[in-house]
């Protein structure tokens, strides 16, 4: 009788399991598609305007695509001179195929970051599934999909914001390698090598992280000699050596180098101030304060709900404490758990925070995915300790928080960057074939708008060797003063900057509420428009 009942119930059990799997996959697809839409939909409008750094990254990609050189005439450099004190190259190189297909515009400039933001959702799910379970992984992907920090980061092309994705990919490959898929070492070291070109701060983070992982792997006997490990290390070294040469060139030990198509340029100034050993304890304090307060001084990193949501704080505290306790216990008992690697990741991020010039959301971008992991793990622990039904309360709380953030962020009146300048430039270009002066408008914005070829830019420009000091290129004058006013010049500037010009015999001929175009009244009378 019992056997008969067991036999009869087995198909029913299989049917229930199939239904659970079906619902799981539907939920996975819905979460992922929601995450994609939040990162890609209306990409050019939110954030409104264009940031000067993303404009220059886009222009460098355009220059390489058009001419095979960067804006300063260097063939495929390992580090851009750009502003004069350098810019990371990885984002621009990854942008080239997007611009090749879609042209050079704000959408194609931002799309690579959005794509990597979407891929990160999948990688984060995989990571959590490997170190926890698929239910936790699904919740983790859900939380990351609606987290303000990740949404905002994915929607504009700051070159250093590739860091979270590539560090995550590297850790996924490393965990896979230690699980037995030795060929994954190649992927791990490739990702860690590429991230060096995403943000110079990674020159500290990656060695620290790999050193910690090496000690950990030796202790747990996870590192064994095999061909894939050696190939991976070789790839990392091949990728790291050009940057080492770059440092030697810019410290005066070597002249500028050209290795095949690869250029290693010398800059007149480097961002040596980015790294400082002064006030390390104070910067760590700022680091932890930023994580707790979930805000920094930059408006484009600010969210009205906190960058991870304020409701996450108890879960974050729980996750961090549990991670430390679990790590110590595992270390004493010599029990390997892949989840311990997340704490090593966090410690490496702390080392970065202690030596950077100052702490803000972008500069510590290597830590945010770990923070979200701690939050997810904290929710899991609370559900295990109290009741699994707690999740039915947690999810709605996060959805309400997201609705508040979404209404705030996707606001048509929220303009972080140089909003409206393109319309003003287009109008100025339509009314004159002569000189156009731009006031309070960084020159990379003009470069990417005009799509001036690097050869023409280099031929006509004046000094760009110091940070942000390009004076003139082509028919564009950058930052002319009132004393330099020329009646034949048409000027583009923010509305609030036009007062002094209007006092000197100029009038507004275009005004979009953000930027204005002004022209000499004499020029208007002479009909030279």
Q: Are strands 472-473 and 476-478 parallel, antiparallel or unpaired?
A: antiparallel
| Each residue's pLDDT tens digit, 1-35 | 444 455 445 666 668 778 888 999 999 999 999 99
pTM of the entire predicted model: 0.92
- Identify which of 293, 318, 317 has the alpha carbon closest to the alpha carbon of residue 305: 293
Q: Which residues contact 49 (CB under 8 A, 6 or more apart)?
A: 415, 416, 417, 418, 419, 420, 421
Distance CA 174, CA 169 (A): 9
Let me know if residue 332 belongs to a domain: yes
What percentage of the chain has pLDDT greater than the value 90?
70
Looking at 356-410, list the stretches that DSSP marks H as alpha helix, in order from N- to C-terminal side.
368-385, 391-409
Distance CA 499, CA 60 (A): 34
Let me know if residue 414 belongs to a domain: no
Let me know if residue 93 belongs to a domain: yes
| Position 492 pLDDT exceeds 60 | yes
Let me know if residue 493 belongs to a domain: yes
Low-confidence winner among 86-90, 207-211, 267-271, 428-432 (lowest mean pLDDT): 267-271
Last residue of a domain, one of 363, 384, 409: 409
The whole domain housing 497 covers: 421-525
Distance CA 476, CA 437 (A): 6
Beta bridge partners of 205: none
pLDDT of 364: 93
pLDDT of 461: 62
Residue with tokens 């960058």: 307
| Position 452 pLDDT exceeds 50 | yes
b/e string for 365-397 if b means 16 or more Cβ within 10 A?
A: bbbbbbbbbbbbbbbbebbeeeeeeeeeebeee
264: number of Cβ within 10 Å: 23
Edge to edge, the sheet with strand 472-473 lists: 472-473, 476-478, 436-438, 490-494, 515-520, 506-511
pLDDT of 12: 67
pLDDT of 502: 84
Low-confidence winner among 35-39, 273-277, 387-391 (lowest mean pLDDT): 273-277
Mean pLDDT of 338-354: 95
pLDDT of 498: 86
Q: Same domain for 328 and 437?
A: no
Q: Same domain for 116 and 173?
A: yes
Composition of the chain by helix, strand, coil, percent to 5: 60, 10, 30
Q: Same domain for 382 and 493?
A: no
Q: Which residues contact 389 (CB under 8 A, 6 or more apart)?
A: none
The structural domain count of the chain equals 2
| Position 465 pLDDT exceeds 70 | no
Q: Same domain for 383 and 451?
A: no
Compute the mean pLDDT over every residue in the chain, rounded to the nearest whole number.
Answer: 90
Q: Are strands 490-494 and 436-438 parallel, antiparallel or unpaired?
A: parallel
| Position 529 pLDDT exceeds 70 | no
141: number of Cβ within 10 Å: 25
Helix (H, G, I), strand (E, B) or coil at 381: helix
Residues making up the chain, counted from first to last: 529
Distance CA 302, CA 116 (A): 21
Q: Same domain for 10 and 106?
A: yes
Mean pLDDT of 76-100: 93
In this structure, what are the phi and psi dihedrals at residue 259, rounded to the nearest 5 degrees?
-115, 95
Mean pLDDT of 415-439: 91
Distance CA 351, CA 339 (A): 20
What is the separation, in whole angstroms, between the first and last Cα of the chain?
Answer: 98
| Position 433 pLDDT exceeds 50 | yes
Distance CA 345, CA 212 (A): 9
Q: Same domain for 470 and 330?
A: no
Q: Same domain for 399 and 435?
A: no
In this structure, what are the phi and psi dihedrals at residue 408, rounded to the nearest 5 degrees?
-75, -45
| Position 366 pLDDT exceeds 60 | yes
Distance CA 70, CA 58 (A): 11
pLDDT of 8: 45
pLDDT of 297: 81
- The four Cα atoms 126, 128, 129, 135 give a dihedral, to 10 degrees, of -120
pLDDT band of residue 459 (cuts 50, 70, 90) is confident
Last residue of a domain, one of 346, 374, 409: 409
| Position 372 pLDDT exceeds 60 | yes
- Identify which of 508, 384, 510, 512 has the alpha carbon closest to the alpha carbon of residue 521: 508
Helix (H, G, I), strand (E, B) or coil at 96: helix
What percentage of the chain has pLDDT greater than the value 70?
93
Let me know if residue 295 belongs to a domain: yes
Q: Same domain for 319 and 436?
A: no
Let me know if residue 103 belongs to a domain: yes
Residue with tokens 């355009």: 62
Looking at 269-367, list the stretches that DSSP marks H as alpha helix, in order from N- to C-terminal side.
280-293, 313-333, 340-353
Q: Which residues contact 322 (CB under 8 A, 6 or more apart)?
A: 377, 378, 381
Q: Is 473 left (phi over 0), alpha (psi -120 to 50) or beta?
A: beta
Distances (CA, A) of 141 to 36, 129, 136, 427: 12, 10, 9, 45
Q: Same domain for 367 and 430?
A: no
Last residue of a domain, one of 352, 387, 409: 409
| Each residue's pLDDT tens digit, 196-243 | 999 999 999 999 999 999 999 999 999 988 999 999 999 999 999 999
- The four Cα atoms 300, 304, 308, 313 give a dihedral, to 10 degrees, of 140
| Position 145 pLDDT exceeds 80 | yes
Mean pLDDT of 236-257: 95
Tokens of 383: 């559900």
Task: Check if the beta carbon of residue 332 is closer than 8 Å to that of residue 321.
Answer: no
Q: Same domain for 405 and 433?
A: no
Q: Same domain for 383 and 490?
A: no
Classify residue 213 by burial, with Cβ atoms within 10 Å: 0-12, 13-18, 19+: buried
Beta bridge partners of 264: 257
Q: Same domain for 317 and 427?
A: no
Let me know if residue 41 belongs to a domain: yes
- Comparing 48 with 398, the larger pLDDT belongs to 398
Distance CA 112, CA 127 (A): 22
pLDDT band of residue 134 (cuts 50, 70, 90) is very high
Let me know if residue 415 belongs to a domain: no
Tokens of 477: 């004058």
| Position 166 pLDDT exceeds 80 | yes
């Amino acid at each position: 009788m019992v056997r008969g009942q067991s036999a009869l119930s087995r198909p029913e059990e299989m049917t229930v399991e199939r239904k659970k799997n079906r619902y799981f996959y539907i939920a996975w697809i819905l979460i992922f598609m929601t995450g994609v839409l939040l990162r890609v939909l209306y990409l050019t409008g939110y954030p409104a305007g264009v940031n000067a750094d993303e404009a220059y990254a886009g222009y460098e990609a355009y220059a390489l695509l058009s001419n095979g050189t960067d804006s300063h005439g260097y063939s495929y450099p390992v580090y851009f001179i750009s502003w004069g004190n350098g810019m990371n190259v990885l984002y621009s190189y990854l942008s080239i195929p997007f611009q090749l297909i879609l042209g050079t515009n704000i959408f194609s400039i931002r799309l690579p970051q959005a794509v990597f933001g979407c891929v990160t959702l999948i990688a984060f799910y995989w990571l959590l599934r490997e170190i926890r379970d698929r239910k936790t992984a699904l919740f983790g992907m859900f939380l990351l999909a609606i987290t303000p920090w990740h949404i905002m980061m994915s929607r504009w092309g700051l070159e250093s914001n590739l860091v979270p994705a590539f560090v995550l990919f590297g850790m996924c490959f490393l965990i896979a390698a230690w699980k037995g898929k030795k060929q994954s070492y190649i992927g791990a070291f490739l990702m860690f090598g590429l991230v060096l070109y995403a943000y110079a701060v990674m020159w500290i983070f990656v060695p620290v992280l790999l050193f910690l992982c090496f000690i950990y792997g030796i202790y747990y006997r996870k590192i064994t000699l095999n061909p894939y490990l050696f190939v991976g290390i070789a790839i990392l070294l091949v990728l790291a050596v050009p940057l080492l040469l770059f440092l030697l060139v810019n410290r005066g030990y070597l002249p500028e180098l050209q290795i095949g198509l690869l250029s290693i340029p010398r800059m007149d100034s480097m961002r040596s101030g980015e790294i400082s050993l002064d006030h390390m304890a104070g910067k760590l304090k700022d680091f932890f304060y930023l994580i707790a307060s979930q805000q920094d001084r930059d408006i484009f990193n600010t969210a009205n709900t906190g960058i991870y949501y304020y409701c996450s704080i108890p879960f974050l505290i729980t996750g961090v404490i549990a991670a430390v306790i679990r790590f110590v216990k595992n270390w004493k008992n010599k029990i390997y758990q892949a989840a311990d690697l997340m704490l090593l990741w966090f410690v490496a991020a702390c080392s970065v925070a202690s030596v950077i010039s100052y702490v803000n959301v972008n500069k510590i971008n290597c830590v945010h995915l770990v923070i979200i992991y701690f939050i997810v793990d904290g929710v899991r622990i609370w559900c295990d300790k109290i009741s699994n039904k707690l999740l039915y309360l947690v999810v709605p709380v996060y959805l309400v928080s997201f609705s508040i953030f979404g209404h705030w962020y996707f606001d048509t009146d929220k303009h972080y960057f140089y909003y409206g300048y393109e319309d003003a430039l287009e109008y100025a270009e339509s009314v004159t074939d002569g000189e156009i002066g731009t006031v309070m408008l960084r020159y990379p914005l003009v470069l990417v708008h005009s799509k001036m070829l690097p050869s023409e830019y280099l031929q006509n420009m004046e000094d760009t060797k110091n940070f942000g000091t390009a004076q003139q290129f082509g028919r564009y004058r950058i930052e002319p003063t009132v004393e330099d006013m020329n009646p034949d010049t048409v000027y583009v500037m923010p509305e609030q900057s036009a007062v002094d010009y209007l006092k000197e015999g100029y009038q507004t001929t275009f005004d979009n509420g953000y930027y204005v175009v002004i022209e000499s009244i004499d020029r208007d009378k002479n009909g030279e428009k």
